[in-house]
Amino acid sequence: AMLANQIAAGEVVERPASVVKELVENSLDAGATEIEIAIEKGGHKRILIRDNGSGIAKDELELALSRHATSKISTLDDLEHIASLGFRGEALASISSVSRLTLTSKPADQDNAWQAHTEGRDQLVQIQPAAHPDGTSIDVEDLFFNTPARRKFLRAEKTEFMHIEEVVKRIALSHFGVQFVLKHNGKTIKRFAKASTDNQQQKRLAQICGNQFSDNLIALNSAYQDIKLDGWVTLSAQENNAQAVNFFYINGRVMRDKLIFHALKQACFEHTGLEQLPDFVLYLHIDPEQIDVNVHPAKHEVRFHQSRIVHDFVYRAMCDAFTQTPE
């Protein structure tokens, strides 16, 4: 019950980037392998997400737009698992209540696409036939048009787009099998091709983290009991004033955790004598029962039940990776 309340308390729509995050996560949940994100004016004016996922059947369009107990949760196990990823069954409803939203979708087994349109809270959902390939488009226009107080908090177009870019990078680094295209004001800003081979993965790493990172990769792959750590670190990227690369995923979600960062720093110090974080893209996999995640979408906090073990495991895994690699 506590979990359910925490979930209900989640505030979904904070800024355009949070809309992008929720919608892209829905596309991924729907099994999409191609996702296009088209932004206008930093998302103030328009956020359009198209995917080639499983689609939404005509008679489920209205339900998808209403606040509901998500169908993605069926058992308590699921709930704990899903809580760590932040699914709450209210993203579309929340977004549609503060924007003009058009949802167009076609499941592969349906002959035609159908479209639902809403304008803010208390509006009836209108449903009409439409043309659309298999998959879903969600078009969010005039975000916060009916909540001026929140609209006031929107930052400059450039700032909001920067946040969106950050969200897309984070997701792209944990879904190499999916193609992402990010556009701003009609111009393609990022195109991440589907990356299955090591070379293709390295290319995506270069696009997102820079060549200095991708040219100096040290691969990690460690396990202790049922905790796993894999991904990449580099030690040399920071020499040339490159931007820090800090992506640490815990069960698929980026976290900034003091304990983990301490372990990374300590391993770096052990190896180089420098008190700094290395650059890293790392994925920790741990039994969801071993952690508490603060599911507020704006927070990225986690508490490990056995923090000492996790800390020492991460430290050891990093030290091993550094020593195996000639400098």
User: Which residues contact Mg ion by CB under 5 A?
Assistant: 26, 91
Q: What, of ligand ADP, Mg ion, none, does residue 278 touch, CB below 5 to 8 Å by kind?
A: none
Do 100 and 47 meet the contact criterion of CB atoms below 8 Å apart? Answer: no
Give the shortest CB-9-to-ligand ADP separation in angstroms.
Answer: 15
Q: What, of ligand ADP, Mg ion, none, does residue 110 touch, CB below 5 to 8 Å by kind?
A: none
Among 10, 42, 83, 90, binds ligand ADP (CB under 6 A): 90
Among 89, 231, 278, 288, binds ligand ADP (CB under 6 A): 89
Q: Which is nearer to ligand ADP, 30 or 195 (CB)?
A: 30
Q: Is 91 in the site for ligand ADP (CB under 6 A)?
A: yes
Among 51, 160, 257, 279, binds ligand ADP (CB under 6 A): 51
Site for ligand ADP in 105-144 (CB under 6 A): 136
Point out which span in 64-72, 154-162, 217-225, 239-247 binds ligand ADP (CB under 6 A). 64-72
How many CB atoms within 10 Å of residue 144? 19
Q: What, of Mg ion, ligand ADP, none, does residue 160 touch, CB below 5 to 8 Å by kind?
A: none
In 52-99 the beta strands, taken as DSSP E runs, fall at: none
Q: Is 26 in the site for ligand ADP (CB under 6 A)?
A: yes
Q: Is 157 in the site for ligand ADP (CB under 6 A)?
A: no
Round to whole Å and give the CA distance between 327 and 321: 11
Q: Is 99 in the site for ligand ADP (CB under 6 A)?
A: no
Round to whole Å and give the CA distance between 291 and 303: 5
Q: What, of ligand ADP, Mg ion, none, does residue 304 touch, CB below 5 to 8 Å by kind?
A: none
Q: Which is nearer to ligand ADP, 38 or 235 (CB)?
A: 38
Residue 135, phi then psi, degrees to nearest 5: 130, -165
Q: Which is nearer to ligand ADP, 105 or 234 (CB)?
A: 105
Q: Which is nearer to ligand ADP, 22 or 279 (CB)?
A: 22
Among 15, 21, 46, 88, binds ligand ADP (CB under 6 A): 88
Q: Which residues bind ligand ADP (CB under 6 A)?
A: 22, 26-27, 29-30, 51, 53-56, 64, 70-72, 87-93, 136
